[in-house]
Amino acid sequence: MSRTVIRGARYPGDIAFEDGVITEIGSIDRKDGDLEIRYNDAIVTPGLINTHHHLYQWMTRGVATGCNLFDWLQTLYPVWKKMSVDDVHSAALVGLGELALSGCTTAFDHHYVVPDGDDSVFDAIVDAAKLVGIRIFLSRGSMDLGEADGGLPPDNLIEERDSILTSTERIISAHHDGDMVSVVVAPCSPFSVTEGLMTESADLARKHGLRLHTHLCETIDEQEHCIERFGKRPAEQLSDWGWTGDDVWFAHGIHFSETEIALLGKEGTGVAHCPSSNARLAAGMCPVSDLLHANVPVGLGVDGVASNEVGGLFPELRQALYTARLREMRPDALMPKDVLNLGTSGGAQCLGASKSGKLAVGFNADFAVWSTPDLAGVQDPISGLILGPDRKVLDLFVGGKQVAKDGELLGLSLADAHRTLSKRSARLWDHN
């Protein structure tokens, strides 16, 4: 197969790739047989990496908009219980399509709602990712602690621990290839799972060399729940269960103590920072600078669109920058290049995606091409891109394969996917 060379981008220069891998960057000589793609007024960045999402929540936007996390969850659990496998497939198409057009080439989906234990929902999410064409980190999420036993979710929405673990084994053998599909073991949160599920999930993931993920330190309510139930703070408790190490990353990580931050840094345990969702739910502000200072890997996440409402990763870059500056009241708390690193190489570190997140020789040819004629006079194009207006990609490449062209997905009509999803979503609110 001949190599492809992208020329004319204002940043970072020419890029050559072959067999899905970047082979040269800079000023590249022509070779016979090259396929050439030429851009004017464009910037190329590494593909963005989304480290926390719930794709199914595209069906339930605009609900409980004035609630904190626990009230919001208790409003939505009964609605999510009604979602079919086809509903989730439809939501995943829209969610992944919107992510791709926001520059995302790798997405993590934390799916933990499995009504009646029908785990074909995970097959449906993988199918949607293949149609859109981006890499997916698919979690077999789970909940096994219902209200009757002191958990938050209703008893009719949880599963049995043994069924969860058996299902997780099936999902791994059916889908994990460590390239386009990577499976992650991901019990939902300290207030919706048992100690047994947490420790057995960790054993299962490590047996297969897979990563672990859960929500942690998102709200003060969660912290109080842990102290009441275990007599320990959330991160301390998870450490006792073997849930620290460089194969683990947590969603949110807002309410850590200094000791917990030092522990995460020492262990190499990562954090998915979801600034828009945290703002929408008034959860608090993640101490990103402190985490980075302690060598904690930090990536960015959209979180579910029922608590974010946007669903694109590009706007989270600017939101992360503003959140850090507001929290610290320090104008250089995070700089534009810092947040681009969070959204690319930081995310790759959280996911253990060692060949993604950088424009460098030997890395996956995963990149986003941004049309930026409005930045022609801007001296620092990356600052102009991050701080400027929200935009969607012109083109998107995953493993050297083009999945979006001229602002449109090549694998499906996103407009049609939205129309289908809207009809399905309306049915959830029909009380007849």
Tell me the per-residue interface mask from 251 to 290 with Zn ion, x by CB under 5 A, - otherwise. Answer: ----------------------------------------
CB neighbour list of residue 277: distance below 8 Å, 6 or more residues apart: 283, 301, 302, 303, 304, 307, 308
Least distance (Å) from Zn ion to the CB of residue 426?
A: 24
Are the beta carbons of 44 and 14 closer than 8 angstroms? no
Smaller CB separation from Zn ion, 291 or 398: 291
Q: What angle do CA 81, 86, 91 make, to 5 degrees?
A: 80
Note the Cα 354 to chain centre separation in Å: 16
CA–CA dist 361, 160 (Å, integer): 46
218 is an interface residue for Zn ion by CB under 5 A: no
Q: Which of 118, 111, 208, 213 lies closest to 163, judged by CA?
A: 118
Smaller CB separation from Zn ion, 56 or 397: 56
Least distance (Å) from Zn ion to the CB of residue 255?
A: 15
Smaller CB separation from Zn ion, 102 or 214: 214
Chain positions 284 to 343 lying near Zn ion, rule: CB under 5 A, are: 303
3 state SS of 341: helix
Read off the amino acid at residue 200: E
Smaller CB separation from Zn ion, 112 or 314: 112
Count the residues of the shown chain that bind Zn ion, applying the rule CB under 5 A. Answer: 1
Chain positions 187 to 216 lying near Zn ion, rule: CB under 5 A, are: none
Strands 270-273 and 248-252: parallel
Q: H/E element holding 396?
A: strand 395-398
Smaller CB separation from Zn ion, 275 or 384: 275
Least distance (Å) from Zn ion to the CB of residue 52?
A: 6
Size of the chain in residues: 432
Smaller CB separation from Zn ion, 109 or 303: 303
Least distance (Å) from Zn ion to the CB of residue 251?
A: 5
Least distance (Å) from Zn ion to the CB of residue 75?
A: 15
Smaller CB separation from Zn ion, 274 or 386: 274
Least distance (Å) from Zn ion to the CB of residue 342?
A: 17
Angle subtended by helix axes 120-132 and 85-101, to nearest 10:
30
Give the CB-nearest residue to Zn ion.
303
In the numeric block, the tokens 């302690």 are attached to 294
Least distance (Å) from Zn ion to the CB of residue 333?
A: 24
CA–CA dist 273, 287 (Å, integer): 9
Q: H/E element holding 215?
A: strand 211-216
The residues binding Zn ion (CB under 5 A) are 303
